[in-house]
Amino acid sequence: MTSESRAGSPEEEIFRDALHRTADALPPLPDLVPDAVREGERRRVRSRGLAVAGTFVAVTAVTLGLALLGPLLRQTPGTEPAAPAPGPSITRPTPAPSPDPTEPVTGMPIPAPSSPPTATPPPSSSPSSSFPLWSPPPSPPSTTPPAAHTAMPYPGATS
């Protein structure tokens, strides 16, 4: 076609007619859109799965690394472990124990007497009164015979 030919000229009509006759012999083109959409979804799913797996591997590696190497990184041979940071305490501080065993423990309820108090007898000078009320009773003497502590040869052994 020359530059002088115009739309609707006889040369253009012949050219268009030849193109249509050639294209009519070809089968229709397949629809590629569903395959392209399916392939795009697969790529998206694959990339998201790799991102999730990579994140899981990274977090697991950091966690295991800190669990295994954490004690080594925190403490060097010349230093002592650090004290915990001061902060609000959930528990109440316990008072120091009193040297007087008859003093009631703080924070514990004092039981109410079930009967009215009676007069106490005056202290006597008997041997049992020399022990305070809170001391444990004396242990009973050992009942094992002294012969049980001696070494005996094995049965059948000759001396």
Q: Which two tokens stand for residue 4?
A: 């002088």
What CA–CA distance (Å, rounded) separates 22 from 25?
6
Between CA 68 and CA 74, with CA 72 as vertex, the angle to 5 degrees is 115
Sequence letter at residue 150: T
What CA–CA distance (Å, rounded) separates 146 from 142?
10
Over residues 111-138, the pLDDT tens digits come to 666 665 565 655 555 555 555 566 666 7
Q: What's the whole-model pTM score? A: 0.32
Over residues 12-71, the pLDDT tens digits come to 999 999 999 888 888 888 899 999 999 999 999 999 999 999 999 999 999 999 888 887
